[in-house]
Structure 1
């Protein structure tokens, strides 16, 4: 697909994924508009593009009256990433905030339809997968798209809102003919990440020289952390190749034990500390890894960055850009907030 001159809206475009997506779209010569209320996104992630006039930026909350209508005007393709979200501590402990995503998503989708937007690409989540499939870390299981079915058992209100949004977009395609696609993001990390997500939290603990070095849960939880550049590439491919509202997993099939990730952070940073497991802290599902066969089949996509390499890149970025006093001031709050 030739993106040159395509008018694109990225909601949540100052976030980790959103800002990298903006970079990639600009490289493809798209005309980019960003809407972000900066409640969790950071202006510094896109400031260079604002200063150069390469993007139009609207600082606003899409849940407020009239904002979505103004944002979608004249747009060809929407990448809808904006959401009330956070890391595991936030998702487990906060339900009212993520419930507002039902309103947020509904407004964006409806205004997109009214404005005759060609396509909406939605940032969904692995949180749509049934919790009951993800409770045994010793089981080798890969979550495939068809496993999201009745009886539904999404991960907290955040996961339910994502599931409803996916269903809504499929209905919009069937009933209104609006092209849509949903990308189920599995845990994402990389430069510009924040401390309420697990990988960045581990890096921050090493940066702050925390001893004992705290790991939430038993450490046996299994994850498939996926590097942000791979997620962005998959998202753009979904925009190019999916029209019918189907959902596709974007995630590596590497099975990574949380305790092993923590040990690698300590090893690479040279921080010598005792690891303390805190089993009473939020952990979420104990075994969450994607099956990415469908993405390979439909998009020709598969992750290019191994976890060990992406982790080291992210550590290097964090240690070269952060200030100890600033991180220490926000760290404990960020673990459960946004």
Structure 2
């Protein structure tokens, strides 16, 4: 049977005029490496869950994205990271929020799913579980880059809203359907620049930013989390695919219309149980890529790339 892997590296003001040739090449290369990592798992007969984790871990380590190293900084200049995974076979899920020392938040989310009786851990408890579970630890400064320091300084100097400075959400995610017909999703993010008071967006919230169900589809989102939370985007898309029989593209369009009506923007990637995949975004661009078992590969950044 065939397999499909789709990934994203954030949506927002991703435009040719705002992107240097060097940054364009670096982002495309990183998306290609992530496809290689996840695709190798699927090509070897591995499961969708292993594939999405492998792909997202690559993007977490790449500072061109807002996840792991290179994550957006809080108002106090630190990194607080969120991630989630979901396995469509039995709707098993794991999520973490506001973790500060785990090199791969998506790996920690999977550990929560597989090694704890819980689904969602946050803050100091999630950090403690990470250490006890043997997840790789780093100093919080390892996540911080000069570019993200500059983003924060600009925001604080202007007294601006986080979305005014960012508008390039940079969250990373992956969805996959493996050769056995199972689907899975994973999402990882640093949130928004200048976030305060322990803010958590949609990415680690099961049903909002991440969802997978073998009866319907797998979904990973990127965008203005406050709006995606209010719509329950990921679950809403799956419900339309599973209960109404809509194609993934149709379901995404309908749900993103609700987000737009509320004032939010962003993007979504979806793969259905039959391998049908779609991406949609309501921003100028979204870092995205897809690979299938027939060898077809596509990497795109801008809106005019389709």
Shared fold by TM > 0.5?
no
TM-score by length of 1: 0.33
Higher RCO (Cα < 8 Å, 6 or more apart)? 2
Higher percent of residues as helix = 1
Higher percent of residues as strand = 2
TM-score by length of 2: 0.36
